[in-house]
Amino acid sequence: MTDRGKITLIYSSVAVISAIILAFTIFLGSRVPEQEQPVYSDVGAEKAETFFPIQADLTGVNQAGEQVKLSDLKGKVWIVAEFFAVCPHCAVRNGQELKSIYDEFKDHPDFQVVCISVDPTTDTPERLVDYSEALGADPSNWWFMSHPDEKETHEYLEKELRFFGIRERTDPMDAEANGRFAHDMGIMLVDREWNVIGKWPLADARSEEGRKQDPQLYEKLKQQLYDRVEAELEKNETPGI
């Protein structure tokens, strides 16, 4: 069996998602909120202001074994999501979603996708390679990034990028079925000036429970995200592009 086949087999048995994150929804605010977790509102607003700036950097290694840092992406428009290579949900819930976005915008020189591992101990370079190849990710514009220190990684994701808290599952059966970590499946968008300008829980909106709550929510949010990426790419676009 090929590596792609193994990964597909691992993720093909994943079941229905919880709508817990969906309850918090995604929204864009007009200022930086004071609470620990951001509160979003009106994600599709045409005149939405910057949500919050990224102030600290994160370094790591991508699937090509290259030393990279998020500050390398200043001047680009990029989306960022959490993942870990043995997560039973990441590929099914977010992998194909990210690939669709990537395929839509990958030819633009100022677009980038970043997936940051929440399990750097387990996510060896070999696993990052297998995972990225299964999704057709080119290391030049789609990083599967691993920072060596797990605690520092989690603190950065939670405090700097403001993803929801990462929780380690302690029940062995739960961990076997759902992976070692429960983590945010939202997709964040970062503009050229290193500001997080929105977060979209497309996986949760696409779930059975999400569609029960609002059958049109997934399509609406997906279109809003694509429109916002396109709008940001058009700003200060490189001459000749």
Q: Where along the chain do its domains lie? A: 3-234
| In the predicted structure, residue 118 carries a pLDDT above the cut 80 | yes
Lowest mean pLDDT among 29-38, 79-88, 119-128: 29-38
Q: What is the arithmetic mean of pLDDT over 173-196?
A: 83
CA 115/CA 140 separation, integer angstroms: 13
DSSP string, 160-209: IS-PPPPEE--SHHHHHHH-SEE----EEEE-TTSEEEEEE-HHHHHSHH
How do the residues of the chain divide into helix, strand and coil, expressed in percent and rounded to 5? 40, 20, 45
* Helix axes of 3-11 and 125-134: crossing angle, nearest 10 degrees: 80
Beta carbons of 205 and 18 less than 8 angstroms apart:
no
**Tell me, what's the pLDDT at 123?**
84
Q: What is the DSSP string of 15-64?
A: -PPP-HHHHH--B--SS--SSSS----BTT-TTPPP-EE--S--EEE-TT
pLDDT band at 240 (very low <50, low <70, confident <90, very high): very low
* Rounded Cα gap, residues 97 and 64, in angstroms: 22
For the entire predicted model, the pTM comes to 0.74
Mean of pLDDT values over 216-225: 94
pLDDT at 74: 96
Express each pLDDT in 75-93 by its tens digit.
999 999 988 777 766 666 7
Sign of CA dihedral 163, 189, 18, 27: positive
In sequence order, the β-bridge partners of residue 78 are 112, 190
Residue-wise pLDDT tens digits, 156-184: 999 999 998 888 778 877 667 666 777 78
Please give the pLDDT value at position 179: 65
Architecture per CATH, domain 3-234, reads as 3-Layer(aba) Sandwich (3.40)
Q: What is the mean pLDDT of residues 91-118?
A: 90
pLDDT of residue 2: 53
Residue 76 CA to residue 66 CA, distance in Å, equals 19
The model's confidence at residue 51, banded by pLDDT at 50, 70 and 90, is confident
Proportion of the chain above pLDDT 90, given as a percent: 46
Tokens at 38, concatenated: 């951001």
Q: How confident is the model at residue 43 (pLDDT cuts 50, 70, 90)?
A: very low
